[in-house]
Copies of this chain bind each other. A is one copy, B any other.
């Protein structure tokens, strides 16, 4: 109820602040008997990890996950999986200058107002460090999806005004991790990387779009009315730090179309009902129709910049604030695995829910 759980049958409850002892969580609904491929899991964790490239935050964390329960001899037991990742590089001292200062467009002011208390040493609970728990739970979810041949591919499709102007079907999505910005088109990737580097040198940050494609989804996932598959995907994505928008299928572009242009014509292929076009984005009436699901997630430039800014403090005085040290000029490369993780959790949850009817 207090917003720290995600999912119903496959469910993550997370805990942890950026400058506390640890972040972690509990996953319920892990399929008993599932082989826990720890190498794969840690690789997913590393994709989110800070310090992995020159264009992300250099905070140095190993982010090694420790499973505390729900596992026996390398397999899931079906009981809740408690896990923890210790915060190594907390550097509490770095933030002492902002104890009473509300950093612009951060959550300092709103948390202080809501709770009357906060861990002022960093972003606390609003820090993206919390997403470690999501990536771990998403990695487990991906292992479950693998058995159903369901694939999730997120990638950076725009940074600032540098856009990847190709349809996802034209891209080799296995190449996403070949570069540090996680754009599967190497040429566009290079432009993005150069641009981010320039932004970093300007002590600034920049936003962008992550596109996500989900393949081999069975027909029938999604619960009508309030738990439509895309509504739950949207809810998941909008819960990621710095996200400002979500669109699936034809998205905002659909608002300028006619019904006769937009409707997806059905036809038969190999005895299966298929659609010729896929403006529906693989979801009709909130329920998957077997076509590729795809959606876009809009990220704002993150609020932490190294430039001096005007703001106010807790005493109501107008002051200047400057963050020193490290910052993350573009959050998108590290957000790619988070988008995938959230999507994976939504899918596993709906797969479980759907079993009720069969």
- Copies of this protein in the assembly total 4
A1 touches B29 (CB 8 A): yes
Kindly state the separation between the CA atoms of A248 and B247 in the bound complex, as whole angstroms. Answer: 12
In the assembled complex, how far is the CB of residue A26 from the closest CB belonging to chain B, in whole angstroms?
5
A225 touches B4 (CB 8 A): yes
With an 8 A cutoff between CB atoms, is A235 at the interface? Answer: yes
A225 touches B310 (CB 8 A): no
Which chain A residues (296-312) contact chain B, with CB distance < 8 Å? 298-305, 307, 309-312
B311 touches A33 (CB 8 A): no
A84 touches B84 (CB 8 A): yes
A206 touches B257 (CB 8 A): yes
Residues of B contacting A222 in the complex (Cβ-Cβ under 8 angstroms): 3, 110, 114
B244 touches A247 (CB 8 A): yes
**Which residue of the partner chain B has the closest CB to A109?**
B273
With an 8 A cutoff between CB atoms, is A215 at the interface? Answer: no
Interface 9-residue window, one of A48-56, A119-127, A186-194: A119-127
Given contacts A102-B273, A104-B263, A254-B301, whether A28 and B2 have CB atoms under 8 Å apart is yes
With an 8 A cutoff between CB atoms, is A75 at the interface? Answer: yes
Which chain A residues (234-270) contact chain B, with CB distance < 8 Å? 234-235, 238-239, 244-252, 254-268
Count of chain A residues with a beta carbon within 8 Å of a chain B beta carbon: 148
Which chain A residues (193-225) contact chain B, with CB distance < 8 Å? 199, 202, 204-209, 219-220, 222-225
What 1/0 mask marks residues of chain A from 140 to 168 whose CB sits below 8 Å from any chain B CB? 00000000000000000010110000000
B5 touches A1 (CB 8 A): no
Residue from the list B107, B224, B280, B312 in contact with A268, Cβ < 8 A: B312
A3 touches B225 (CB 8 A): yes
What 1/0 mask marks residues of chain A from 340 to 357 whose CB sits below 8 Å from any chain B CB? 000000000000111111
With an 8 A cutoff between CB atoms, is A58 at the interface? Answer: no
Which of A111, A255, A302 counts the most chain B CB atoms within 10 A?
A255
Residues of B contacting A247 in the complex (Cβ-Cβ under 8 angstroms): 244-247, 252, 298
With an 8 A cutoff between CB atoms, is A325 at the interface? Answer: no
Residue from the list B71, B117, B298, B310 in contact with A33, Cβ < 8 A: B117
What 1/0 mask marks residues of chain A from 267 to 280 whose CB sits below 8 Å from any chain B CB? 11001010100011
Kindly state the separation between the CA atoms of A78 and B111 in the bound complex, as whole angstroms. Answer: 10
**Which residue of the partner chain B has the closest CB to A242?**
B254
**Which residue of the partner chain B has the closest CB to A67?**
B21
B244 touches A254 (CB 8 A): yes
With an 8 A cutoff between CB atoms, is A36 at the interface? Answer: no
Residue from the list B22, B69, B71, B267 in contact with A69, Cβ < 8 A: B22
